[in-house]
Structure 1
Amino acid sequence: MAVYTHVSAEALEALLARYDVGELVSAKGIAEGVENSNYLVDTTRARFILTLYEKRVDAGDLPFFLALLDHLAERGNPVPRAIPDRAGVQVQTVEGRPACLIEFLPGVSLSHPTPRQAASAGRALGAMHAALRDFTPTRPNGLGVDAWRPLLNRCSGDLDQIAPDLFATISAALDDVERDWPRSLPTGTIHADLFPDNVLVRGDSVSGLIDFYFACTDIRAYDLAVTHSAWAFDATGAPVDAGVGANILGGYASAFGLSSEERAALPILARGACIRFLLTRAWDWLNTPADALVTRKDPVAYLRRLEWYRANPGCFA
């Protein structure tokens, strides 16, 4: 989450007038994340999240995202749905941006998840995949393996401003990943961004899965690899308690299952996940406007993860 677009009190009051949600009490921009502009909105009746969709979210994709959330919620998954106004409209226009007023889910996101919380997150990811078996809409992964080489070339030599020889390092790693990428594993709708800050917990239990704006159709085991790469390391890219990564895998397998072929592919899928987030973080690092209320994330933390996975291919056994 982040704030790129300022929303005036007048615009917010005009938006809320279309709903039966009470009157505006307060609104506060949320700086975490890098994709959309987000506000925490309190009314006289409840609390909500207002999301304005920015450069990476195509308004044409919003029906997919909203249908996905409705599908998951109807099957008991803890996800935040977009609220329709009195006319049944979910997608609004606020300050010239497509926008949704979204349910607020209780819970806290984690910076240092425990193994028990990781097990709960793994089970929640598996339950999500199970609930999406009969979800028929599809959306290509615009940041999948075939997009990484073009993004690397767009960043070009500017990557070396972030770390010495970073362009050459990523290029060599990508050569290996492209060569070995599995093309026949089961696919389905995946979250593709299930970091600890996109999981809400109460105690050791998951109370919410949020930020589905990278959701797409891709290899299910890749979703697990993305989640492992996000949970098994700290913010600097150093590995944490081994029980965290192991319990992500164990929790997922207990809820959805994990074939021997999928488990064998996890080392290359995890290295691919590292390249994906290294590149998008680097692009944002190089291109985020100086005046944006946004917390930039360190690309080098994913270089360290990539190097760890290369040195520890047996971590998924």
Structure 2
Amino acid sequence: MAVYTQISDTLLKEYLSAYDVGEATSFKGIAEGIENSNYLLQTTTEKFILTIYEKRADPENLPYYLTLMKSLAEQGIKSPLPIEDRKGLALKTLKGKPCCMISFLNGVSSDFPNDRQSYNCGKVMAEMHKALSDFPETVENTLSVSGWLELFKGRAEQADALHPGAGAFIANQLAYLQDQWPSTLPRGTIHADLFPDNVLFSGDEVSGVIDFYFACTDIWAYDLAISLTAWCFDSENCFLPENATAMIAGYQSVRPLETEEKDNLVLLCQGASMRFYLTRLFDWYVDTTDALVKKKNPQVYLERLQHFTREGLSYGK
């Protein structure tokens, strides 16, 4: 989340006039993240999140994301509900850009989740996979293995500038992943960005899952691998096997992994690390001088990729 597009009080009032949500009493930009402009909106009735889609979210796919969230919410998964105006429209425009208002979910995210929170993350992920197993719409994951070479094209020197030797290492790992990426693992709708800041907790219990704007159709176990790379390292970027064990156990309490999925988890974690290294590397060199945004250092995921390449994935079987 971030703020690239500024919204005036007058424009906000005009926008809200199409809804039955009351009048705005506060409106504040959210700085976390780097993809879209996000505001916390308090009205005379309740809280909402207003998102203006800026970057990687393909406008043609936005109805897919909103339908997906609505489907999850209707099945009892703690997902934001897109808010429709009086004409039944949830997807609108502001300053010529697509936007949507969604319900606000209570809870707080954890910068460094514990093993119980990791367990519950794995469990809710599997619940989402099952809830969406017959979801009729599909969207290709353009940020999976087929898109990584293009992301890295012309960026070896940038990688070396941040971490000497990274360019050659990444090139070699990309070739390996392209050659070894599995094609027969179970697939379906995945969140594809289930980081700690996208899961809300009340204590250790999940109170909400947010930010579905990378959701797509891909390997279910890859979704798990993304969260393993995001949840299972401490503040010094050291691997936490207890978190990995808990997350996988939580997932399997709802949907047991097949043998082939378990056999490929290390490779999928390498791929997840690569994906977030490359998008962070790309964003690191984008000019965001005029935006309220916090860039994220790509080196964190370079080190995680190096870890999974050297050490594999340690967790209780």
Bin of the TM-score, shorter chain as denominator length: over 0.9
- How many angstroms does 1:226 deviate by? 0.4
The answer as to whether partners of 2:156 and 2:166 remain within 8 angstroms in 1 is no
Alpha-carbon deviations, 1:216-262, whole Å to 9, x = none?
Answer: 0111100000010000013553324x221111111001111111110
Q: In terms of mean alpha carbon deviation, does 229-238 or 13-22 score higher?
A: 229-238
In structure 2, distance between residues paired with 1:41 and 1:264? 45
Partner of 2:34: 34
The one-letter amino acid paired with 1:204 is: D
Letter in 2 for 1:276: R
Secondary structure of the 1:56 match is: coil
Q: Tell me what 1:228 maps to.
A: 228
Q: Does structure 2 conserve the Cα–Cα contact (< 8 Å) formed by 1:235 and 1:301? A: no
| Conserved? CA contact 2:30–2:40, under 8 Å | yes
Is the contact made by 2:185 and 2:261 (CA closer than 8 Å) also made in structure 1?
Answer: yes
2: CA distance between counterparts of 1:158 and 1:303? Answer: 13
Tell me if 1:301 matches 2:300.
yes
In structure 1, list runs of 5 or more residues that go unmatched: none
1:2 aligns with 2
Q: Give the Cα separation in 2 of the matches to 1:314 and 1:302.
A: 15
**Cα-Cα RMSD:** 1.2
Task: Give the conservation status (yes or no) of the 8 Å contact 1:138–1:216.
Answer: yes
SS at match of 2:100: strand
Alignment-derived partner of residue 170 in structure 1 = 170
Compute the displacement of 1:76 (Å): 0.8
* Letter aligned with residue 301 of structure 2: Y
Matches within 5 A, 1:95-110: 95-110=95-110
Q: Does 1:89 align with 2:89?
A: yes
- 1:243 counterpart residue number: 242
**Which is worse superposed, 119-128 or 228-237?**
228-237
Q: Which structure 2 residue ranges, 5 or more long, are not aligned?
A: none
- Partner AA of 1:225 in structure 2: A
Match for 2:131: what amino acid? A
**Which string of whole-angstrom CA distances, capped at 9 and with x for unpartnered residues, describes residues 7-38 of structure 1?**
11111111111111111101000000011000
Within a 5 Å distance, the mapping from 1:130-279 to structure 2 comes to 130-234=130-234, 237-240=237-240, 242-279=241-278
Q: Percent identity over the alignment?
A: 47
Q: TM-score when scaled to structure 1?
A: 0.97
- Residue 286 of structure 2 is matched in structure 1 by 287
- 1:297 CA drift (Å): 0.6
Give, in angstroms, the shift of residue 292 of structure 1. Answer: 1.6
Is the 2:112–2:235 Cα contact (8 Å) retained in structure 1? no
Tell me, what secondary structure is at the counterpart of 1:255? coil
**How far is the alpha carbon of 1:314 from its aligned partner?**
4.5
